[in-house]
Amino acid sequence: MKTLFLQKGIGEGTAGLITAMVGELANNAFDHNLGKWRDIRGCWLETAMNNDQLTIYVADRGQGVTASLSRVRPGIDDLEAIRIAFAEHVTGRAPEKRGNGLKFVMNVLHDFEDIEFSYYSGNAWLHYSSKADRESDIKNLVSKAPVIIRGVYANITIKRFL
């Protein structure tokens, strides 16, 4: 993936950051669904270039964020699950010490001038826009989604990166 970004003219450092962020999203698809796939195993990864805009899609048909966290945070709904996943140092794979990936994604997002990020699971989604949300609290980024997603669907759009 990093090679693809470099071929598209994206700088070395930026390509590394994007690859790491996408890598963490794809890691989660496998780390939290091993032995728990609902039907189709694996992770969908797609990139699309349109002029000076790059969009990356990552999706899986795993158990979703709420089910993944339900053993460490029983009774949470989809909205709370996404907030916890991005804001708190907690993992569904306790007692292992994990839970850094999505916090890292947020840190990387804050490093870009013009980026949009959407993350769907269940009937909730988190939407971040660097133009509007740089100072926003995570809980204000999470809301009821217009669609229900089995598993997780994320997309990242980076504008004017060349």
CA distances from 142 to 40, 90, 133 (A): 27, 18, 12
| Residue type for position 123 | N
Nearest approach in angstroms of CB 73 to another protein is 17
Nearest approach in angstroms of CB 27 to another protein is 5
Question: Which residues contact another protein by CB under 8 A?
Answer: 2, 12-14, 16-17, 19-20, 23-24, 27, 30-31, 89, 97-101, 103-104, 107-108, 111
Is 124 within 8 Å of 142 (Cβ atoms)? yes
Our CB check for another protein shows the closer of 105 and 124 to be 105
Cis check: omega of the bond before 95, within 30 degrees of 0: yes
Nearest approach in angstroms of CB 101 to another protein is 6
Our CB check for another protein shows the closer of 13 and 35 to be 13
Q: How far apart are CA 89 and CA 110, in angstroms?
A: 18
Residue 14's Cβ-count burial label (10 Å; 0-12, 13-18, 19+) is: middle
Nearest approach in angstroms of CB 146 to another protein is 30
Residue 136 corresponds to which tokens in the numbers above? 């926003």
Our CB check for another protein shows the closer of 99 and 151 to be 99
CA–CA–CA angle 22, 28, 30 (5° rounding):
110
Our CB check for another protein shows the closer of 30 and 57 to be 30
Nearest approach in angstroms of CB 35 to another protein is 15
Our CB check for another protein shows the closer of 46 and 111 to be 111
